[in-house]
């Protein structure tokens, strides 16, 4: 288990300090602008403080609130903003385990995230997935596996899951854009879990403060988190520097809340024709070959028909985890696809099973 188990208030306080106001980057840059080295001193001081807190073995300290303040975040679209306003109380009243409280972000993430954020602004180093240790994600997945072993269903399916996905069998990658939005995302995750499936959630970074519990649950369940920009921006209309910032800021927030960094990008609107985007993306670009148009129809029946009448092996299917109608459709689509013999996998799981290496800056619509 990670040293930060949710009981060390020192680490949590350090994390809140660093990330409290848009994870502290803007405030710190204003304070120390012109003094490139001062942030290193700050990091060392906070690391020493948090390290001492980690070393207090046996001391039981009450857990502080790990949730970042949710108010004031700008929604990905005006449509989403209206939806958030009408359902904020419902999202905060979610039932079941609060995954944000259960998995305290480690001090390592606070230090590395702040370092990457500041240094990338100064242009001293490129931010990439290697900035974050994979052991954090592995720890979360291990906890999930340990819990699953306590259930009869997991015990019965354990042998088959060890070799999953099977490259010799058909598979489909369900993908969801514009979330997370807990009232919908959690329903989709529950149905995937029921049928042993995974999916890829291309998240908007600015939504994580409010709906982080769903993103953390997705990682815990074995799903993949992809990058859908920080502010739902069309990357082909931005400068190279702004493209990097949209990707970087989402990666930092994802690392802070979930302990992982994204490895795939879903361009907003599928717009990926910019040479600047392909040059600086630093990750594979993932579009789709089957668009359910759920955002347009808002009809579960329409989404079901589009998927079940057209889906095939290797497909990447586009949906959005913003609409109740999409969750309604998934309640039917997921068991139907499984009954037809399809393995529901993440984009990266599909690529690995097929022996495909996804190249940085390259656009993919399907994986065969």
Residue 268 lies in a domain: yes
Helix (H) or strand (E) holding 165: none
Per-residue pLDDT tens over the stretch 247-272: 999 999 999 999 898 999 999 999 99
Query: Do 276 and 329 reside in the same domain of the chain?
Result: yes
Residue 83, domain member (yes or no): no
- The C-alpha R_g of the chain, in whole angstroms, comes to 20
The reply to whether 145 and 282 lie within a common domain is: yes
What range defines the domain where residue 49 resides?
A: 1-54+104-125
219, 111: one domain: no
pLDDT number for residue 184: 98
pLDDT band at 46, cuts 50/70/90?
low
Last residue of a domain, one of 125, 156, 182: 125
CB 11 within 8 A of CB 4: yes
The residue among 125, 159, 181 that closes a domain is: 125
Residues 47 and 139 in one domain: no
pLDDT tens-digit map of 55-77: 443 333 333 333 333 333 333 34
Q: Are residues 12 and 150 in the same domain?
A: no
Residues 252 and 354 in one domain: yes
In 3D space, the residue among 173, 294, 281 whose CA is nearest the CA of residue 229 turns out to be 281
Q: Which helix (H) or strand (E) holds 202?
A: strand 200-203
Is residue 261 domain-shared with residue 318, that is, in the same domain? yes
Q: Which of 198, 228, 232, 320 is catalytic?
A: 320
Give the residue from 95, 125, 155 where a domain finishes. 125
Using CA atoms in the order 183, 186, 190, 196, what is the torsion angle rounded to 10 degrees?
Answer: 140
Number of domains in the chain: 2
Known catalytic residue: 177?
Answer: yes
Does one domain contain both 300 and 170? yes
Residues 144 and 44 in one domain: no
Catalytic residue among 84, 177, 249, 315: 177
Q: How much is the pTM? A: 0.66
Is 174 within a domain?
yes
Are both 121 and 203 inside the same structural domain? no
**Mean pLDDT, the chain, as a whole number?**
74
Tens-digit pLDDT profile for residues 124-160: 344 344 444 455 555 555 665 666 665 555 555 545 5
Whether residues 34 and 136 fall in one domain: no
């Amino acid at each position: 288990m990670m040293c930060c188990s949710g009981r060390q208030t020192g680490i949590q306080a350090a994390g809140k300090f660093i990330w409290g106001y848009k994870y502290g980057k803007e405030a710190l840059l204003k304070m120390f602008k012109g003094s490139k080295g001062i942030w290193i001193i700050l990091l060392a001081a906070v690391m020493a403080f948090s390290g001492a807190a980690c070393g207090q073995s046996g001391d039981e300290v009450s857990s502080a609130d790990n949730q970042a303040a949710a108010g004031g975040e700008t929604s990905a679209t005006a449509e989403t903003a209206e939806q958030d306003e009408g359902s904020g109380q419902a999202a905060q009243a979610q039932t079941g385990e609060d995954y944000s409280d259960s998995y305290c972000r480690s001090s390592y993430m606070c230090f590395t995230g702040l370092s990457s954020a500041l240094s990338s602004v100064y242009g001293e180093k490129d931010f990439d997935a290697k900035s974050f240790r994979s052991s954090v994600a592995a720890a979360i997945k291990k906890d999930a596996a340990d819990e699953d072993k306590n259930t009869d269903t997991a015990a019965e399916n354990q042998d088959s899951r060890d070799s999953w996905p099977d490259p010799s069998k058909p598979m489909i990658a369900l993908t969801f854009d514009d979330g997370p939005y807990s009232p919908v995302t959690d329903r989709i995750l529950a149905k995937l879990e029921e049928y042993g499936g995974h999916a890829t959630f291309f998240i908007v970074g600015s939504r994580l403060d409010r709906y982080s519990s769903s993103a953390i649950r997705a990682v815990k369940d074995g799903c993949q988190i992809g990058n859908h920009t920080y502010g739902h921006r069309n990357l082909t209309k931005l400068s190279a520097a702004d493209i990097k910032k949209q990707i970087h800021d989402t990666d930092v927030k994802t690392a802070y809340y979930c302990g992982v960094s994204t490895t795939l990008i879903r361009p907003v609107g599928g717009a990926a024709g910019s040479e600047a985007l392909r040059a600086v993306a630093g990750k594979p670009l993932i579009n789709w070959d089957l668009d359910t148009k759920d955002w347009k129809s808002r009809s579960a029946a329409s989404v079901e028909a589009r998927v079940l009448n057209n889906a095939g092996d290797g497909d990447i299917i586009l949906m959005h985890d913003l609409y109740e109608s999409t969750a309604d459709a998934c309640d039917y689509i997921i068991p139907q696809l499984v009954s037809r013999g399809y393995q529901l996998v993440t984009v990266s799981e599909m690529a690995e099973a097929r022996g495909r290496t996804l190249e940085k800056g390259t656009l993919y619509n399907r994986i065969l």
